[in-house]
Structure 1
Amino acid sequence: MKPSSLLAPVLALAPGAAMAGSISIDLPRLPVAEYHRPYVAIWIEGAGIQPRTVAIWYDADHRGDPGTKWLSDLRGWWRVAGRNIGTPPAGISGATRAPGHHTIPLPADLKPGAYTLKVEAARETGGRELVSVPFTMAKTGGKSAGTGEIGAVAVTLP
């Protein structure tokens, strides 16, 4: 992977960067005895582009190790982008998130065209789910919903 492609997500999230839209994700609180926050991978696929990781939420300090050992549990993301990314770079990685509504910016440098937003969640002693949201840049957003580990997912364009 080129160093410039690693900086693109960071630059897209920089203050003052043009806002291309947003991604909203609901993580439901599941009624289980032992709840662990899910690892979540968010990436974009489209014709003519390499899969692009927008965000990866994981336990970066899991009992003294870097927490990356369990990233391969996000199987869909791992197959298309994760195994090639090494340690997720600053700007796209972050801690696991609590149940609730989360909004992150859509990368500002996406060209007009058809894309698919993928959101995958995997939880220790829990389930795994992958939600796909097709959207077209410069035309329409999109939305979908999971049935377990992921709630509503939407792409909103300005």
Structure 2
Amino acid sequence: MQFRLTGLTAAAIGAGSLFPATAVAQTLDLSVDIPKLSVAEYHRPYVAVWLEKEGVAPRTIAVWYAVNKAKGEGTKWLRDVRQWWRASGRTMSFPADGISGATRAPGPQKLRLVAGRGGMPALTPGNYTLVVEAAREVGGREVVRLPFAWNGSVASGSAKGASELGAVSFNLKR
């Protein structure tokens, strides 16, 4: 499954925002590999993706959870994605438009996010960290952190998880 969000509306981010808008659209291509685990009881992981910048509140850009459970039951387990929950999840309302999505099956999962749409903010130059966290019922949890410097033009990074996450990579361009 691939989400495609297109366009840029600087006004959607708003003046005085924590991540001020820029004149040109920024596109983040993200790949998150969810490994196939050979375990007796497998549940798809809940996954949260967010951006951190020193001195600025973290910004959630994607959350995958059991969105279709009756009466919003899937949201009660979001707190198990602990670092994200503490950073920004507990202040959100769900489903979050442009951010929420269903859990994903094992394999490579790709997202394309465009600044000003959904949860993807327009970034100003500086040092950031893209964080991906996964937590699985009757399983473990894992966090992969990808620090990068955004110069306003291009940035990329990759890392590999050890258990709940496989390869995580991104390309950010203007």
TM-score bin, normalised by smaller chain: 0.7 to 0.9
SS of 2:59's equivalent? strand
Deviation by residue 1:125-153 (Cα, 9 ceiling, x = unmatched): 11111110111223531111100000011
Contact 2:5–2:112 (CA under 8 A) maintained in structure 1? no
Counterpart of 2:170? Answer: 155
- 1:16 is aligned to 7
Q: Deviations over 1:96-126 (max 9, x none)?
A: 0011111212452111211001110011111
The corresponding residue for 1:98 is: 105
Matches within 5 A, 1:39-58: 39-58=46-65
CA RMSD of aligned residues (A): 1.6
For 2:71, which of 59, 65, 71 is the aligned residue? 65
The answer (yes or no) to whether the contact 1:41–1:120 under 8 Å persists in 2 is yes
* Pick aligned residue for 1:74 from 81, 95, 98: 81
Structure 1 alignment gaps of length 5 or more = 1-12
Query: Which residue of structure 2 lines up, in the alignment, with residue 25 of structure 1?
Result: 32
Q: Contact 2:131–2:144 (CA<8 Å) still a contact in 1? A: yes
- Corresponding letter in the other structure for 1:86: S
Tell me: CA distance 1:143–1:93, structure 2 relative to 1, closer, same or farther (3 Å).
same
Task: State how far apart, in whole Å, the 1-side matches of 2:86 and 2:7 are.
Answer: 33
- Provide the C-alpha distance between the structure 2 equivalents of 1:21 and 1:110, rounded to a whole number of angstroms: 11
Q: Shift in Å at residue 22 of structure 1?
A: 1.3
* Structure 2 Cα separation of the partners of residues 14 and 147 of structure 1: 30
Q: Runs of 5+ in structure 2 lacking a partner?
A: 9-24, 116-121
Task: Specify the alignment match of 1:142 in structure 2.
Answer: 157
Name the % identity. Answer: 52
TM-score (norm 1): 0.84
Q: Is the 8 A contact 1:56 1:88 kept in 2?
A: no
CA contact (8 A) 2:65 2:78 kept: yes
The structure with the largest strand share of the pair is: 2
Runs of 4 or more consecutive aligned structure 1 residues displaced over 2 Å after TM superposition: 13-21, 105-108
- Contact 1:44 1:115 (C-alpha < 8 Å) held by counterparts: yes
Distance across 2 between alignment mates of 1:114 and 1:141: 12
Number of residue equivalences: 145
Could you say what secondary structure the match of 1:121 adopts?
strand
Query: What is the rounded CA distance, in whole Å, between the counterparts of 1:103 and 1:135 in structure 2?
Result: 19
Tell me the TM-score normalised to structure 2 length.
Answer: 0.77
